[in-house]
A and B are shown apart, each in its own frame.
Chain A
Amino acid sequence: MAFRATAFNDAKVVDLLKTHFVCVGIAHNGAGRRKDAEGDFARKIIGKGGTLQGLHVINTAGDLVGYVYDFRPHSVIAMLEKALKKFKPIAAPAIDFKEKDQRFTMPQDGLVVFTVAKVLAGHDPVKAAKGTIQHHMETAWKTSLGREHLWIRKDEVQALIRGELPESLKQRIVRYHLVDNTRGTPTGWTETQIKKVQMKLSAGRLTGSVHLETKDGSRGYQADLLGFVEAKDGKVTRFDIVASGQFWGHGTYTPGAPKGRFPLAISFTLGESSDSLYNLVPDAVRCYADYLR
């Protein structure tokens, strides 16, 4: 989230990107793991800048034209302008992308639900001096919205239309989406870490509560859920749910959680297919091979 609050919050950077570039965002451990043409092409780029992450400019052959891993807008602008001078369009033979890695492919006739998590309180005040890049980054870190997509299979969609909440969907929500992803990729819950889960869908109203906790008690979430799931003319028309409760601890890649227990809320909202990020593969898909089971 730091790039969003720094370089990609700078008017000149954004204008340069919108005007002169085709922009793509990928995970080196997501697209880079795909067993298809998307993965093959991603692997041409990943690591070319010297690290696994960063901002790259490439041509259609995957040749590196520019690279920087710096949050400061002036550094990004300098790289982009230099890359524009160096870049020359080349022939781009079509790449066959009919065979897609099914693990990373949205279920046919499924649904996409956007989820957003937020730590509601508990972070220490921002310490970095105002006006500095560090202040922007620390503020972003402590106020971030953790975004993710929930994929729902066709058979689960049909169950929702009938007014049912399938066990498989309930498990997916609990294990992979009741998480604190506000500071990066979260750690999901194993089956043995589910101490209690009660979820009921009745007459379009979803109610429930959960208690999730690691064996050593270092990470957990106790929350209530309330939401509304509606269908009309054979389509799910509403999937609005909120989970709200007390979270504690952090995952492997999400250090910096508030100390002790802190309030964490997570919302679920039916995705809009017109959203340019609608087809984004859930981060949980790359992390958990059994995500769609």
Chain B
Amino acid sequence: MTSTRFFAAALVGAACISLHPAASVVAQEPAQSGLTVAEFEKLHMALQPPRDERWRTIPWHVSILEGRAAAAKTGKPIFVWVASGSPLGCG
């Protein structure tokens, strides 16, 4: 699907973006969800990271220069975890 066709489809597909409640009556195919509110609540809660992860108790810096500044202030060495992709984020 070309980008032009995609945007055309998106337009037809759902007036999609109902900007205000009053605008949602535009006669286009409405967006619907197969998820119920109960399923949403269950999944949203289940997908919150545990609060007691041990690695998260380490006060990580996401910037190496911020870490360097903190190390200069405290006189501590800098521990740097380097990965392919952010080690503190992805996966």
Is the Cβ of B78 less than 8 Å from the Cβ of A147?
A: no
A164 and B20 alpha carbons, distance in the complex (Å)? 7
Q: How large is the interface on A (under 10, 10 to 19, 20 to 34, 35 or more residues)?
A: 35 or more
Contacts of B20 on A, CB cut-off 8 Å?
A: 162-164
A8/B55 in contact, CB under 8 A: yes
Give A4 Cβ to nearest chain B Cβ, in Å.
4
B37 shortest CB reach to chain A, Å = 7
A267-B43 contact, Cβ under 8 Å, with A22-B67, A53-B84, A200-B31: yes
| Closest CB in chain B relative to A121 CB, distance in Å | 13
Q: Mark B63-81, 1 if CB is under 8 A from A, else 0.
A: 1111111111011111111
Cβ-defined contact, B10 with A197, below 8 A:
yes
Contacts of B68 in A (CB 8 A): 41, 60, 92, 95
What residue in chain B is nearest A277 (Cβ atoms)? B88
Nearest-CB distance from B66 to chain A (Å)? Answer: 8
CB distance from A119 to the nearest CB of B (A): 11
Q: Mark A229-257, 1 if CB is under 8 A from B, else 0.
A: 00000000000101010000000010000
How far is the CB of A81 from the nearest CB of chain B, in Å? 12
In-complex Cβ contact of B88 among A14, A25, A184, A225 (8 A)? A25
Which positions in A face B, CB cutoff 8 Å?
1, 3-4, 8-11, 14, 17-18, 20-31, 37-38, 41-42, 45-46, 52-60, 65, 80, 83-84, 87, 89, 92, 94-95, 97, 116-118, 144-149, 162-167, 170, 181-186, 191-192, 194-203, 207-209, 224-227, 240, 242, 244, 253, 265-267, 269, 276-277, 279-283
Q: Which B residues have a C-beta under 8 Å from some C-beta of A?
A: 1-3, 6, 9-10, 13-14, 16-21, 24, 29-37, 39-40, 43-44, 46-49, 53-55, 57-72, 74-91
**19 other A-B residue contacts (CB within 8 Å) besides A45-B64, A209-B32:** A11-B54, A14-B55, A21-B77, A25-B82, A28-B83, A52-B82, A57-B78, A59-B77, A116-B49, A148-B90, A165-B17, A191-B2, A199-B31, A226-B37, A226-B40, A267-B44, A279-B63, A283-B86, A283-B89
